[in-house]
Amino acid sequence: MRNLLRRVWYVIRQRQFERDLAEEIEFHRAMAQQELERNSVPGASAEDAARRAIGNTTLAREDSRGVWIWPWLESLWQDAAYALRNLRRQPGFTAVVVLVLATVIGLHTTLVTVIAGVVLRPWPGVQDAHRVVAVYLLGPAGGSAGFAGGLPLAAYRTVAERAKSLSGVVATRAEEVLVGTGDSARSTEALLVTGHFFDVLGIGVAPGRGIGPDDDRPSAQPVAVLAYDYWHSHFGGDPGVIGTNVRVNDVPFTIVGVASRDFSSAEPAYGKQLFLPMTAAPLKPNDPPLTCCVDVAGRLAAGATREQVRAELDLLSREFVLPDGMRPRGVIVTGTEFAARPGRADSVGPLAAASAISAGLLLVWLVACANIGNLLLARAAARVKEIGIRLSLGASRRRLIRQLLTEGFVLALSGGAIGIGIAYKLPFVLLHVLGGAAAAFPFRITVDGVVLVYALLLAGVSAAVFGLAPALFATRSDVAAALNEREGLPASKFPLRGLLLAVQVALSVVLLVSAGLLMRGAQRAGTFDPGFAVNDVTAVSFELPPGAYDDARKRAFFADLSDALRGLPANTIDAFGFATWEPTFIRRGYQTPIHLPDQTLAQAKMVTNVDVSPDYLNVLRIPIVAGRNFEASDARLVAIINETMARQFWPNENPVGKTFLIGRADSREVVGVMRDAHTHSMAVVPPLFYQPLREGRVVPRLLIRSSRGVPSAELKRIVARSDPRVRIQTTPLSAHLEARVAESKWGPMLGAVLGGFALALATVGMFGVFAYAVRQRTREIGIRMALGAQPSAVVRLVLAGHSRAVAAGLVAGLFGAVASSVVLRNRLHGLSPFDPVAYLGVAVLLAAAGFAASYVPARRAVRVDPVVALRYE
């Protein structure tokens, strides 16, 4: 303790201490000299003799100081300061290296954040989350139709009552509800939960209490639990809100509690504002009574394993009946991690995309390290003399290696620091890219200490990887050789260098071509022809007053609406129709297993379908290419399919008049084929069929085509006349398109960033190698020029050696690029994978990069003055 205080005192009074020490040692030297003078005769050399006699005073001073300061700490500080000075002298080099490292570290850290922190994490805010399992039902039959999904409500009840391997079972279902009254009512995401949800999962509720079993009965007083964020954003975080009422679908619910903040980023709760008892489900009358399907989770009974649960539920599941009358094949029991949900870890899921990007990044990182290593090596070559002098002055090799490594660390840490900045911002952008619009990523991401540590670790490892070899190499020369030899490392060839260069070039070609293609694709998406009317069409969705509409009334409402629209003055609107979903350019709508009469159920394929009114195709201006359009008299049993579906199910045949089966028994007759249109995707058109809308069963959307704009005022008046409680919302289809186009730009942007950095790396790499070649052969060039060599011959000489590596990289890269562009094909919006513009652009870029990388070294070579070069030794 006292020691520490003295050390601190030393640090504070360091200058004074050092002056004292210097004076003391000087006094010692003077005394020694005096004595030598007294004893020996030649006074002139006494001073030197004294110096020799007492040795290295500086070393004495350093060692004495070392007593006070942990010496390694001080030398570390010195090394860092020295490295900083050194790097500042070469701002270009430093900027490139730091930027490259920052990007690679930032991107990688981001991915790790997302994958480890979110995707592989069980539900947060749940007690002992590792003992909680999620249960999914395996769909009927095998083959492609087999899907894993939720359980019918009846099946859930069976599990809850009879499963012995689970100590508690809960079910949830997401539901959109209206909160508030009148014009201030807002559509809000709610999670319906069963009565034991809060206790079985052990979710913290403060203030207030969770929903209990007594609340989940049909006769119970309706209660609601608020999500933490909702409580803050809509109720100001006021604890007094407990006990007050909130109107949900026009029914007063008593607020009884607020769920914990942690739980709000668990998958079922993500984005939900309210938790309501499951029995509240029928309160939303637009839907048929709740039968299918709920998400089921349970807590393992003491001592039970997942395998036991699976075996038990497999047996129970034989009694389950799916809504379409079929039987499930069994159950899947998984943990609650995002990645564990069936279908997420498959080869096309977001996880696969994340791993692909991660692998790519790892490669870029390695190449970056190798590249920076090459650069440092070239720098070390220039410093061999300096290092030789330091070695001869008594610096130990270890000390020098440490100093060179410190330089690497300073570089890496600066890169890492910026990388952390990137990592803080990027996950949100990246998730957007990975999830797209179809799969909203149900998580909140936190960038925390773990990420920080990871980024720094990555920076540290980078520094070791790219710094060690050059440091070892530069310091291995023996002193005399280093001082005598011409500048340059002891002669040795680096075939590795050429290989690394080739890999770099190849990789940047692949990345650049991919990025170029994606960007061209996005550009095309902005101007692409969707194949149907987009600009003049507006979708109208309806919110009917809760509880007031049965099927008959719904049918009457929409019949009135149609009559009123037809009664509008001529030319107000061009056409209108109804559909369960408007075209949103993503695969939205029902997916049904379809097979042909001569196929088995196991061969069924999932096909998207939409229920539409007879005029729908006319509204969207999708032409019929074979057969006929719907007619008002059509029964439910007919369908119009698109060209893709025709090709897939009836290749080289006329599908009109053919029949296909839906599920086990339902069948449809194809009456017409419509032209492919991008109603459900931006890129490839999926198979699709339309069938007549069942009036009254669902609340469809109204689609209006009008070249003079949608008469929204009239529309509101018409609706209000029919029922003032009905609320409508209009969305032009072009808004959907714009959103998709904006989304589709993220991928290309990420690609462009990666490609740009790969190019920067390759350029810097080439530059380093060429510059090194010139430096190493300065003397040879001098001799050649003295003997009359032409400058062009000198340039060829310098560049030739490594040009072969560059050329090999180009060829390999082209092959890789072709392969990757074929993989990317269905993200190109119909652009050819061999788009000449993208390839030409990359060629131009690479040529420019090659020129930039070789210009300076070549000029340096040409400017070698023979006299200087030869006198060099």
Partner 1 sequence: MSYVPDLLPGTLELLILKTLAGGDPMHGYGIAQRLKSVSDEVLQVGESSLYPALQRLLLKGWVTGTWGASENNRRARFYTLTAAGRKQLVVERREFDRLIVAIHKVLNPA
The CB-of-25 to partner 1 minimum distance in angstroms stands at: 6
Residue 51 in the binding site for partner 1 (CB under 8 A): no
Contact criterion met (CB below 8 Å) for 518 and 357:
no
Query: How far apart are the C-alpha atoms of 334 and 350, rounded to whole Å?
Result: 18
Binding-site size, partner 1 (CB under 8 A): 32
Residue 2 in the binding site for partner 1 (CB under 8 A): yes
Query: How far apart are the C-alpha atoms of 636 and 691, rounded to whole Å?
Result: 7
Task: Enumerate residues 6+ apart whose C-beta is below 8 A from 626.
Answer: 646, 654, 655, 656, 672, 673
Q: Among 59, 81, 95, 822, which residue interacts with partner 1 (rule: CB under 8 A)? A: 59
The CB-of-397 to partner 1 minimum distance in angstroms stands at: 21
Q: Among 47, 64, 656, 830, which residue interacts with partner 1 (rule: CB under 8 A)? A: 64
Place of tokens 């709920």: 294
Contact criterion met (CB below 8 Å) for 288 and 550:
no
Task: Name the one range near partner 1 by CB under 8 A: 25-33, 186-194, 658-666, 667-675.
Answer: 25-33
The CB-of-67 to partner 1 minimum distance in angstroms stands at: 4
Q: Among 13, 14, 16, 27, which residue interacts with partner 1 (rule: CB under 8 A)? A: 27
Residue 52 in the binding site for partner 1 (CB under 8 A): yes
Task: Name the one range near partner 1 by CB under 8 A: 56-64, 154-162, 175-183, 190-198.
Answer: 56-64
Q: Cβ closer to partner 1: 63 or 666?
A: 63
Per-residue tokens: 476? 């291995």
Q: Cβ closer to partner 1: 50 or 87?
A: 50
Per-residue tokens: 110? 């981001």
The CB-of-15 to partner 1 minimum distance in angstroms stands at: 16
Angle at which helices 2-12 and 14-39 pack, to 10 degrees? Answer: 90
Would strands 251-259 and 223-226 be described as parallel, antiparallel, or unpaired? parallel
Torsion of the alpha carbons at 793, 795, 801 and 807, rounded to the nearest 10? -110
Bridge partners (DSSP) of residue 333 are 135
By three-state DSSP, how is residue 444 classified?
coil
Q: Cβ closer to partner 1: 59 or 480?
A: 59
DSSP for residue 139: P
Residue 480 in the binding site for partner 1 (CB under 8 A): no
Residue 184 in the binding site for partner 1 (CB under 8 A): no
The CB-of-46 to partner 1 minimum distance in angstroms stands at: 15
Residues of this chain, 655-694, that bind partner 1 according to CB under 8 A? none
The CB-of-7 to partner 1 minimum distance in angstroms stands at: 7
Per-residue tokens: 623? 């032409």
By three-state DSSP, how is residue 579 classified?
strand
Measured between alpha carbons, how far is residue 454 from residues 109, 367, 368, 427, 507 in Å? 7, 20, 18, 15, 26
Residue 476 in the binding site for partner 1 (CB under 8 A): no
Taken in order 176, 180, 182, 185, the sign of the CA dihedral is: negative
Residue 66 in the binding site for partner 1 (CB under 8 A): yes
Radius of gyration of the chain (CA): 37
Residue 29 in the binding site for partner 1 (CB under 8 A): yes
Task: Name the one range near partner 1 by CB under 8 A: 16-24, 534-542, 623-631, 664-672.
Answer: 16-24
Amino acid of residue 417: A
Contact criterion met (CB below 8 Å) for 443 and 267:
yes
Q: Among 13, 14, 24, 852, which residue interacts with partner 1 (rule: CB under 8 A)? A: 24
Q: Among 28, 162, 247, 327, which residue interacts with partner 1 (rule: CB under 8 A)? A: 28
Nearest to 757 by CA among 94, 90, 101: 101
By three-state DSSP, how is residue 642 classified?
strand
Q: Among 18, 25, 603, 739, which residue interacts with partner 1 (rule: CB under 8 A)? A: 25
Query: How far apart are the C-alpha atoms of 70 and 477, rounded to whole Å?
Result: 30
Amino acid of residue 40: S
Q: Cβ closer to partner 1: 8 or 793?
A: 8
- Say how many residues make up the chain: 873
The CB-of-75 to partner 1 minimum distance in angstroms stands at: 16
The CB-of-44 to partner 1 minimum distance in angstroms stands at: 20
Q: Cβ closer to partner 1: 61 or 383?
A: 61
Residue 65 in the binding site for partner 1 (CB under 8 A): yes
Q: Among 37, 68, 327, 469, which residue interacts with partner 1 (rule: CB under 8 A)? A: 68
The CB-of-20 to partner 1 minimum distance in angstroms stands at: 7
Torsion of the alpha carbons at 744, 689, 543 and 244, rounded to the nearest 10? -70
Q: Cβ closer to partner 1: 2 or 871?
A: 2
Q: Among 16, 40, 45, 56, which residue interacts with partner 1 (rule: CB under 8 A)? A: 56
Residue 255: phi and psi, rounded to 5, are -75, 125
Query: How far apart are the C-alpha atoms of 9 and 7, rounded to whole Å?
Result: 5
Which run of H or E residues covers position 576? strand 575-579
Nearest to 251 by CA among 554, 551, 549, 547: 547
Residue 851 in the binding site for partner 1 (CB under 8 A): no
Task: Name the one range near partner 1 by CB under 8 A: 24-32, 683-691, 829-837, 863-871.
Answer: 24-32
Give how far the C-alpha of residue 346 lies from the chain's centroid of Cα atoms, to the nearest Å. Answer: 17
Q: Cβ closer to partner 1: 18 or 669?
A: 18
Q: Among 18, 32, 220, 732, which residue interacts with partner 1 (rule: CB under 8 A)? A: 32
Q: Cβ closer to partner 1: 66 or 207?
A: 66
Q: Cβ closer to partner 1: 20 or 550?
A: 20
The CB-of-3 to partner 1 minimum distance in angstroms stands at: 6
Query: How far apart are the C-alpha atoms of 144 and 604, rounded to whole Å?
Result: 6
The CB-of-807 to partner 1 minimum distance in angstroms stands at: 59
Residue 18 in the binding site for partner 1 (CB under 8 A): no
Angle at which helices 712-722 and 551-566 pack, to 10 degrees? Answer: 140
**Contacting residues toward partner 1, per CB under 8 A:** 2-3, 6-7, 10, 20-21, 23-25, 27-32, 34, 52-57, 59-61, 63-68
